[in-house]
Amino acid sequence: MNQPLSYVHPTANSPWGTYLSQVDRVLPYLGHLARWSETLKRPKRALIVDVPIEMDDGRIAHFEGYRVQHNLSRGPGKGGVRFHPDVTLEEVMALSAWMTVKCAAVNLPYGGAKGGIRVDPKLLSQQELEKVTRRYTSEIGVIIGPQQDIPAPDVNTNAQIMAWMMDTYSMNTGTTATGVVTGKPIHLGGSLGRVKATGRGVFVTGREAARRLGLNLQGARVAVQGFGNVGSVAAELFAEAGAKIVAVQDHTGTIYNPNGLNMAQLLPQSRAKGVAGFAGAEAIADEEFWDLPVDILIPAALEGQITAARAQRLKARLVLEGANGPTVPEADDILASRGVLVVPDVICNAGGVTVSYFEWVQDFSSFFWDEDEINQRLDRIMGNALQQIWDTADRHKITLRTATFAVACERILTARQERGLYP
């Protein structure tokens, strides 16, 4: 009855293809709600915009920008904006869909959305970066807003970029709309704890998963792929809990020290110039990262990193998905059959959007909480969500990923059904 979408051509392991097969796996657990499931396989709205700017040397450059609102049944759209030369519509669609599932999994009153610009921000001056951000914000201004769709940071975007987005939207609407984006600087309505929230959520869910596995964090060996805002914070928290961070891979290279990397020295160096050349470790080939003897693996970079071949090789007992979509469906099955526990992205990295929600609530009420309150609420929300997901997984004997989809899709499709079709 329903034809596949004509505007994307997913493959089995591409981001949207991965997401579609994750939806297929949850269908048997949706009962009467499965009738509405096609809605999960179609974004509600996808906007493609041209982003032209004048470069510092006088040339006019055009970039491709996107904002996809995957589902708005449970509330306004929510999700980050990614600046990366490889961003595509198909990728942003998948990322927006994972936001729908993630927000429902932790029961935040949001739908799912995501945005991106096909640009390498490292090749732009600060002035060019500001222009790209402002023009993109203006172009997507027709569909974003504090009650419509609320962007946030993602890969290569940060609090400064959110400040420019907030200012541009505010100028265009004649308001001071702090609630239009989250992940803002603190004195512009940002929330304490937001910067570290995603990494903290990875740690909180990882600690609980380790406890259930009987894996002692004291001395546990951890490998981290991606050392940005998610991977570096998660690594820091695991190290504080007594784990040894033995390997880190980022875009500059892969480093390994079986005795554990010195976090106090690595963190400042990695922020300044990446992990390559770090004195307290040996450099290894990137592909060797997947063979290392570790207990916990944290993919915290981009999609599609855990392929079937790598899933066969990796030694970890526990995989914590800090990134969105790091594991392809075939690899998911291999890990499950090998008894490797995967805490999926849609719950593992939900700490960021949870504190984004706190930020949005604080902006509305113009009343700001202290960091302890934020971290306690974050721990409680993520702990409770994980508990419910775990119970669902045990009840149906399914993976944590399918269980997270089951909990989330029930909420999304119940809202869909109760709202009814218009007209």
Residue 168 or 254: which CB sits closer to ligand GLU? 168
Residue 78 or 416: which CB sits closer to ligand GLU? 78
Pick from 70, 74, 78, 317 the residue near ligand GLU by CB under 6 A. 78
Helices (H), ranges, 41-173? 89-105, 126-140, 159-173
Which positions from 271 to 310 touch ligand GLU by CB under 6 A, shown as an x/- string?
----------------------------------------
The window from 35-43, 253-261, 263-271, 350-358 that contacts ligand GLU (CB under 6 A) reads 350-358
Q: At what angle do helices 89-105 and 351-365 cross, to 10 degrees?
A: 70
Longest dimension (CA), the chain: 65
Q: At what angle do helices 371-396 and 194-213 cross, to 10 degrees?
A: 40
Residue 144 or 215: which CB sits closer to ligand GLU? 144
Distance (Å, whole) CA 381 – CA 65: 33
**Contact between 200 and ligand GLU (CB under 6 A)?**
no
Distance (Å, whole) CA 247 – CA 235: 10
The window from 75-83, 140-148, 273-281, 336-344 that contacts ligand GLU (CB under 6 A) reads 75-83
The window from 77-85, 136-144, 283-291, 393-401 that contacts ligand GLU (CB under 6 A) reads 77-85
Backbone angles phi, psi at 107, to 5 degrees: 60, 40
Q: How many residues does the chain have?
A: 423
Quote the least distance from Cβ 353 to ligand GLU, whole Å. 4
Distance (Å, whole) CA 116 – CA 120: 11
Residue 78 or 184: which CB sits closer to ligand GLU? 78
The window from 73-81, 125-133, 257-265, 365-373 that contacts ligand GLU (CB under 6 A) reads 73-81
Residue 243 or 351: which CB sits closer to ligand GLU? 351
**Contact between 349 and ligand GLU (CB under 6 A)?**
yes
Quote the least distance from Cβ 95 to ligand GLU, whole Å. 7
- Residue 13 CB-density burial (10 A; 0-12 exposed, 13-18 middle, 19+ buried): middle
Which H or E element spans position 19?
Answer: helix 15-26
Quote the least distance from Cβ 48 to ligand GLU, whole Å. 20
Residue 232 or 349: which CB sits closer to ligand GLU? 349
- If binding means CB under 6 A, how many residues of this protein chain bind ligand GLU? 11
Are the C-beta atoms of residues 245 and 260 closer than 8 Å to each other?
A: yes
Distance (Å, whole) CA 168 – CA 20: 35
Residues in region 167-196 near ligand GLU by CB under 6 A = 182
Active site residue 397: no
CA angle 122, 283, 252 (to 5 degrees): 5
**Contact between 79 and ligand GLU (CB under 6 A)?**
yes
Catalytic residue among 41, 44, 78, 114: 114
Are the C-beta atoms of residues 46 and 66 closer than 8 Å to each other?
A: yes
Residues in region 143-162 near ligand GLU by CB under 6 A = 152, 154
Quote the least distance from Cβ 70 to ligand GLU, whole Å. 13
Backbone angles phi, psi at 180, to 5 degrees: -80, -25
The Cβ-side half-sphere exposure at 195, using a 13 Å CA radius, reads 11
Pick from 105, 353, 385, 398 the residue near ligand GLU by CB under 6 A. 353
- The DSSP code sequence of 311-373 is HHH---SEEE--SSS-B-HHHHHHHHHTT-EEE-HHHHTTHHHHHHHHHHHHHHHT----HHH
Quote the least distance from Cβ 356 to ligand GLU, whole Å. 3
Q: Which position's Cβ is nearest ligand GLU?
A: 80
The window from 50-58, 59-67, 345-353, 379-387 that contacts ligand GLU (CB under 6 A) reads 345-353
Helices (H), ranges, 141-193? 159-173
- Known catalytic residues? 114
For binding to ligand GLU (CB under 6 A), which residues are involved?
Answer: 78-80, 152, 154, 182, 324, 349, 352-353, 356
